[in-house]
Amino acid sequence: MAAAPEYCLAVNCGSSSIKFKLYQTRSQQVLLAGSASNVQGSSPAKFAFKHVPQQQQQNSTDLSEKVERELDSSTSYQDVEQVLGKGGKDRIKVIAHRIVHGGTAKEPVVIKHGDKSEQETLKRMDEVSDFAPLHNHHAMLIVKTCLESLPSATSVLCFDTLFHTTIPTFRTTYAISTPPHDTPVPLVRYGFHGLSYASILKQMSEELSIPSKEVNLVVAHLGSGGSCCLIQGGESKNTSMGLTPLEGLPGGTRSGSLDASLIFHHTPDCSETVEWSGRPISKAEFVLTKESGFKALTGSTDFGEIIQRAFPDSSSSSPSKEQETALLTYNLYLDRLLGFISSYITALLSSPSPHNKLLGLVFSGGIGERSARLRNDVLEHFRWVEELAGSQAGVDEKSNEAGEGRRRITKDGSRISGWVVETDEELECVQLAMAASEADK
């Protein structure tokens, strides 16, 4: 009789939502995918999932139709048994957690319920959470819940910061003195979205049919929170986020980089603390991370909606105030994005390293994958490169506007080769977690 299959659960926790995927360990095929939304809202949290059966299995129910309902402990475990069969949750052997900030960690951290290091590790990660309070805090609550609810499973913390440990020190150092007091982590630039960049690197290595160590890319991971990364010789060499995810591009509710003294004039009592999601944070952090960005400029955090306002179908001789603010926001975002992309391309092409040929400018994340206009405007900025080279290439309008999935969006012969790549942070987490779990045995 064949042994019952074992599973690996990937959990990707955001500030107000949780995404998850359940994989069969041996094949790494997805069996179940879903999300929980409004987990910190005033109304009941809801979760949705979809069973993705590779083949019909005994004691398994085909839930290929999306299931949605309010989230509570009883219904969630009922659904686990419905999909995996009775006792199925005990066959979840590894839980891969995406954790935004890992501090100085150089590899994933393995936690087993009941181990003597369990509480010490949890305490250390709680301290690091001060540097990503809107992300790490919630993720660590999930970690603790999994340790209690699935005590036989091994939890592995997979950090976004791991990918960026190869950035040179001169780029991670801030021009400020060492503080006279101890801090949970050194006050340097760490960078984030590393799991996404690692996924994109692997996919582009496959697409280009070359080893990862020979891949040179500039990647824009653009979502409600966005960042850019220079990947040179298969390693991160620069990224736009810093000590915290606040630095760099503006986002749905984040200001992005600005003059550090601005907040003292904008919010005079910015050093006072406020309670947010059960955790005290400074008013400065709250204003800059939750009340700024697209929301502050337009009242909306939806970039697609902002584009529709900025470029309405019907033309008018006198644009409305709403259109003006939306257009301002779009141009501001495009300008900041081009600033990072242009500097990374320049750094790569002028590098004395043998890895100095740009193989792709990649767009990913919700905004990067959906906004054909933004991708076109970014690539059009580099039209002078094509004209200088006499390539007569550039954006492939059909692929950019109507294509699907991983694809090139520039014409053959383009010197700046544009791509859209759908990232897979959950699979990257699972692969890291499985390797770390095996190494820990």
Does the global pTM surpass 0.85?
yes
Under 8 Å between Cβ of 51 and 43: no
Percent of the chain clearing pLDDT 70 (strictly above): 89
Tell me which of 79, 130, 160, 424 is the catalytic residue.
160
> In the predicted model, is pLDDT for residue 57 greater than 70?
no
In a domain, 248, yes or no: yes
Residue 126: active-site member: no
In a domain, 130, yes or no: no
Q: How confident is the model at residue 65 (pLDDT cuts 50, 70, 90)?
A: low
**Residue length, the chain?**
441
From its phi and psi, is residue 396 left (phi > 0), alpha (psi between -120 and 50) or beta? beta
The answer on whether 386 is annotated among ligand-binding residues is: no
The answer on whether 221 is annotated among ligand-binding residues is: yes
pLDDT in tens, 198-231: 999 999 999 999 999 999 999 999 999 999 999 9
136 token code pair: 């790490």
- The mean predicted confidence, pLDDT, of the chain is 89
pLDDT in tens, 122-162: 999 999 988 988 789 889 989 999 999 899 999 999 999 99
Angle (CA) 56 61 63, round 5°: 100
In a domain, 320, yes or no: yes
In a domain, 371, yes or no: yes
Give the model's pLDDT for residue 319.
Answer: 85
The answer on whether 425 is annotated among ligand-binding residues is: yes
Instruction: Give mean pLDDT, residues 15-30.
Output: 86
Under 8 Å between Cβ of 8 and 433: yes
Rg (CA), the chain: 23
The answer on whether 223 is annotated among ligand-binding residues is: yes
The answer on whether 12 is annotated among ligand-binding residues is: yes
Q: How confident is the model at residue 34 (pLDDT cuts 50, 70, 90)?
A: confident
In a domain, 329, yes or no: yes
In a domain, 389, yes or no: yes
Please name the residue that has the structure tokens 């200001």. Answer: 255
Name the range with the highest mean pLDDT among 276-290, 320-334, 381-395: 320-334
Under 8 Å between Cβ of 416 and 408: no
| Structural domains counted in the chain | 1
394 token code pair: 């550039």
Identify the burial level of 307 via C-beta atoms within 10 angstroms of its C-beta, where 0-12 means exposed, 13-18 middle and 19 or more buried. Answer: buried
What range defines the domain where residue 296 resides?
209-256+292-425
The answer on whether 224 is annotated among ligand-binding residues is: yes
The answer on whether 225 is annotated among ligand-binding residues is: yes
336 HSE (CA, 13 A, CB side) = 21
The counts of H helices and E strands in the chain are 15, 16
Q: Which CATH number is 410's domain given? A: 3.30.420.40
